[in-house]
Amino acid sequence: MKSLVKSILLTVLLLTALPMRAREAEGGTDIKQLVLGHLGDSYEWHIATTSKAEWSIPLPVIVHSPASGWHCFSSARLRDGAEYEGLRIAAEGDYAGKIVERAADGSDRRPLDLSLTKTSAALLLNSLVVLVLVMSAARWYRRHKATEKAPKGFVGLFEMLVSAILDGVIKPCVGPRYRKFAPYLLTVFFFIFVNNLMGLIPFFPGGANVTGNIAVTFLLALATFLAVNIFGSKHYWKDIFWPDVPIWLKAFPLMPLIEFVGIFTKPFALMIRLFANIMAGHAVILSLTCVIFATAGMGAAINGSMTVVSVLFSIFMYALELLVAFLQAYVFTMLSAVFIGLAQEEPEEESAGNH
């Protein structure tokens, strides 16, 4: 499957490489900007572009400058490279796409930026969706007894997902203390799953690349890192700093060093896996769609045939991404449960005594 995705992406890049510069020079669709603009963050939420206007929702800008203090205004004031209250969005350089101000020496300087960007706005919206889904299911259970008939429809689907993750992932991976970590792991699964699905919706309020943003996956991985190491057992820490290996390996602290590095590499792998898979999926779908625009100047025959190819491959990739949306949420939850479970292990003698 990875080879197939790489082949599709390579084909798209080869098809778009030749006409891209020409179309940009003619003032046509800027394919590079279109793809990178979707994958990146912005200070407004783009909805649609027509021949007459561009529709987008401006988001609040909240920054603090060491020279002029706090600034709070709509990002609409910074459109098309405009400057407002000494602030502007850099078009190029190290701070391209970010709000900057002019320093005393003439260079660009970034103020403290607490603005509500597209990714953070989508994050709040999708979190609200998760909350509504959970509370709707909880409301049904509050109004019905456990002895009644099993729920149907949405509540039944929600119960099936919770049971599958709890019984198939959390219990066997975490072990006897699974109840302590089940709320966190279930929240992580539904949070990632909903964000992945919302990112595949091609129109507002979907389409935001939330889980394809490394800052989001970093915080998710950090939460797992804290859950593993704060609640780790004494045996877990003993295996790291005083593992059961020959004494010469303990005298030369190679194994403790490897185990200590592993504390950080595990959540790092979680962060990169989720970020790379979701971002790559969005990039492939957008690139396939852009084939239509990239071949527009090659004649009706080529453009028509490539439009058919683009549509078919885009449908295939959308179906694949629906599967990936679930699998990535499942894998992140499963690996988090495995790491937490390994940190809860006890010596065999103590474990047998507890049983």
pLDDT of residue 291: 80
pLDDT of residue 275: 93
Mean pLDDT (the chain, rounded): 83
Taking the CB of residue 211, how many other CB atoms lie within 10 A of it?
30
- In the chain, what is the greatest distance between 2 CA atoms, to the nearest angstrom? 78
| Residues 108-154 pLDDT 10s | 889 999 999 999 999 999 999 999 999 988 888 888 887 778 788 88
H or E element at residue 65:
strand 60-65
Buried b (16+ CB within 10 A) or exposed e, 93-124: eeeeebbbbeeeeeebeebeeebbbbbbbbbe
Please calculate the CA angle 119-23-78 and round it to the nearest 5 degrees.
Answer: 40
CA distance 308 to 188: 38
45-54, 76-85, 87-96, 277-286: range with lowest mean pLDDT: 45-54
| Residues 75-86 pLDDT 10s | 999 988 888 988
Instruction: Tell me: pLDDT of 9 over 70.
Output: no
Instruction: Tell me: pLDDT of 3 over 60.
Output: no
Question: 324 with 316: CB under 8 angstroms?
Answer: no
pLDDT of residue 131: 94
Instruction: Tell me: pLDDT of 254 over 80.
Output: no
Instruction: Tell me: pLDDT of 32 over 80.
Output: no
Helix/strand number for the chain, H first, E second: 12, 8
190-199, 217-226, 228-237: range with lowest mean pLDDT: 228-237
Question: 112 with 68: CB under 8 angstroms?
Answer: no
Question: 307 with 292: CB under 8 angstroms?
Answer: yes
